[in-house]
Amino acid sequence: MKLTGPFTQILPLDGLPLKGTLGDEQLSIIPNGGVLTEDGIILGIGDFDQLRKANPSAQNEEITGPQVLLPGFVDCHTHICFGGNRAKDYSMRIAGKTYLEIANAGGGIWDTVTQTRKATEQELTETLIQRANRHLNEGLTTIEVKSGYGLSVQDELKQLRAIKAASAQTKAKLIPTCLAAHMVPNDFSGSQEEYLILVLNELLPKIKNEQLSNRVDIFIEQSAISADNALNYLTKAKALGFDVTVHADQFTMGGSKVAVEVGAVSADHLEASGEAEIKLLAESDTVAVALPGASLGLGMNYPPARKLLDAGACLAFASDWNPGSAPMGDLLMQAAVMSAAEKLSAAEVFAGLTYRAAAALKINNRGILSPGMVADMQSYPCADYREILYYQGKMKPVAVWTGGNKA
């Protein structure tokens, strides 16, 4: 048994609603707090001195100086398993070149597919571990990782095997997702429907057999997969036992409607969502996921986060860390910057980075600090939690724990 503390403040993010608006006055704050853990699980949380007295045999992990403790953040949407980079694309985009001009110059998703196919499984594993560990050091203890740069049975399996191998070599918890339906690959001669049938018949059963993932994602967009084909694909993927999630309403509407109809765990992006989409999401169990890193990378508007919360939706944030549109990957900075534009409370931001993001991954033992939960935690070098967003993501945690141990 171990007692960690005393922390100047602990924000357990406990006892808060899954959906809708949150005010900072709803946050419970434990001053002079401690956390009692055993075998990686939280046994108790509360006043440090009382925990000390009640558990004299517990080993003490002493915290010195002002520190604020939060649950580890959950990044519920990333594409950090890839080869190469797209700095050339990015320079063209910021200089004002269009999507088509960039694609014609050999850029876009297909460029990353080409570079990811060239990489060995070992190379993909090693670069993924580096990115996951960078994230972990910045307080992100759970990280979803998508495939989607293989786009053939063999190369999608290579990516998912790399994610599985990396998972065993990082202290961050990695959640793999199959995004073979990212786009129809340029070298596939058949139709969109035929490509999705190939994925359903040839790839998803192998993923099940090898236990590589239980989640399936799709990019619904005029330039990627149509809403009709997506509905059919996701319905069949669900019947095979997969949880489904959707890249929805990034440039045009249509994706979030499919997500709600099929009962997706989350609908991510939503930059183009209108009033009808907001209402649909708010009335559903589908988590709305904002990806401010994509808005920053593309120079586009943010999703309507304030309206989603006011309508009663469950809103989470994720980095969308990827080599094309969101290369920064700094989720706290992105959420902090977006909160000023969208008028979000600190409570709404922290909820969206912790337990609400965990809900988007159907994880129920992380994202809150309370007895029975996994002790994934992070502490910041300040005396008041409000300083964390005040520094707009520049202040990083001084310590990060996964399963009760310092990472």
Q: Of the two residues 58 and 162, which places its CB atom closer to Zn ion in the complex?
A: 162
> Given the rule CB under 5 A, which of 60-68, 109-117, 302-310, 318-326 is the region that contacts Zn ion?
318-326
Cα separation, 396 vs 331, in Å, equals 11
| Shortest distance in whole angstroms from residue 198 CB to Zn ion | 22
Tell me the residue number closest to Zn ion, measured at CB: 320
Site for Zn ion, residues 187 to 216, rule: CB under 5 A: none
The residues facing 220 across adjacent strands are: 225
**Is the separation of the CB atoms in 83 and 123 below 8 Å?**
yes
**Is the separation of the CB atoms in 348 and 16 below 8 Å?**
no
Nearest to 184 by CA among 227, 152, 158, 136: 152
| Shortest distance in whole angstroms from residue 80 CB to Zn ion | 11
| Shortest distance in whole angstroms from residue 79 CB to Zn ion | 6
> Given the rule CB under 5 A, which of 167-175, 227-235, 304-312, 313-321 is the region that contacts Zn ion?
313-321
In order of 162, 180, 247, the CA distances from 156 in angstroms are: 10, 7, 18
| Shortest distance in whole angstroms from residue 268 CB to Zn ion | 6
Q: Of the two residues 42 and 291, which places its CB atom closer to Zn ion in the complex?
A: 291
Angle in degrees, 0-180, between the axes of helices 121-137 and 153-167, rounded to the nearest 10: 40
User: Per rule CB under 5 A, is residue 271 in the interface with Zn ion?
Assistant: no
Site for Zn ion, residues 371 to 390, rule: CB under 5 A: none
| Shortest distance in whole angstroms from residue 147 CB to Zn ion | 12
Q: Of the two residues 76 and 382, which places its CB atom closer to Zn ion in the complex?
A: 76
Q: Which residues contact 157 (CB under 8 A, 6 or more apart)?
A: 150, 203, 206, 207, 210, 212
Q: Of the two residues 219 and 385, which places its CB atom closer to Zn ion in the complex?
A: 219
**What would the two tokens of residue 324 be?**
């094309």
| Shortest distance in whole angstroms from residue 382 CB to Zn ion | 32
Site for Zn ion, residues 26 to 65, rule: CB under 5 A: none
Q: Of the two residues 156 and 320, which places its CB atom closer to Zn ion in the complex?
A: 320
- What are phi and psi for residue 371, nearest 5 degrees? -55, 135
Angle in degrees, 0-180, between the axes of helices 331-342 and 346-353, rounded to the nearest 10: 140
Cα separation, 248 vs 84, in Å, equals 26
| Shortest distance in whole angstroms from residue 217 CB to Zn ion | 8
User: Per rule CB under 5 A, is residue 320 in the interface with Zn ion?
Assistant: yes
Residue 110, Cβ density class (10 Å: 0-12 exposed, 13-18 middle, ≥19 buried)? middle
DSSP 354-381: THHHHHHTT--SSSS-STTSB--EEEES
Cα separation, 282 vs 291, in Å, equals 18
| Shortest distance in whole angstroms from residue 280 CB to Zn ion | 21
Q: Of the two residues 277 and 320, which places its CB atom closer to Zn ion in the complex?
A: 320
> Given the rule CB under 5 A, which of 119-127, 315-323, 371-379, 382-390 is the region that contacts Zn ion?
315-323
> Given the rule CB under 5 A, which of 7-15, 197-205, 307-315, 316-324 is the region that contacts Zn ion?
316-324
Q: Of the two residues 320 and 330, which places its CB atom closer to Zn ion in the complex?
A: 320
**Number of residues binding to Zn ion, judged by CB under 5 A:** 1
**Is the separation of the CB atoms in 76 and 144 below 8 Å?**
yes
Q: Of the two residues 138 and 320, which places its CB atom closer to Zn ion in the complex?
A: 320
Q: Which residues contribute to the site for Zn ion (CB under 5 A)?
A: 320
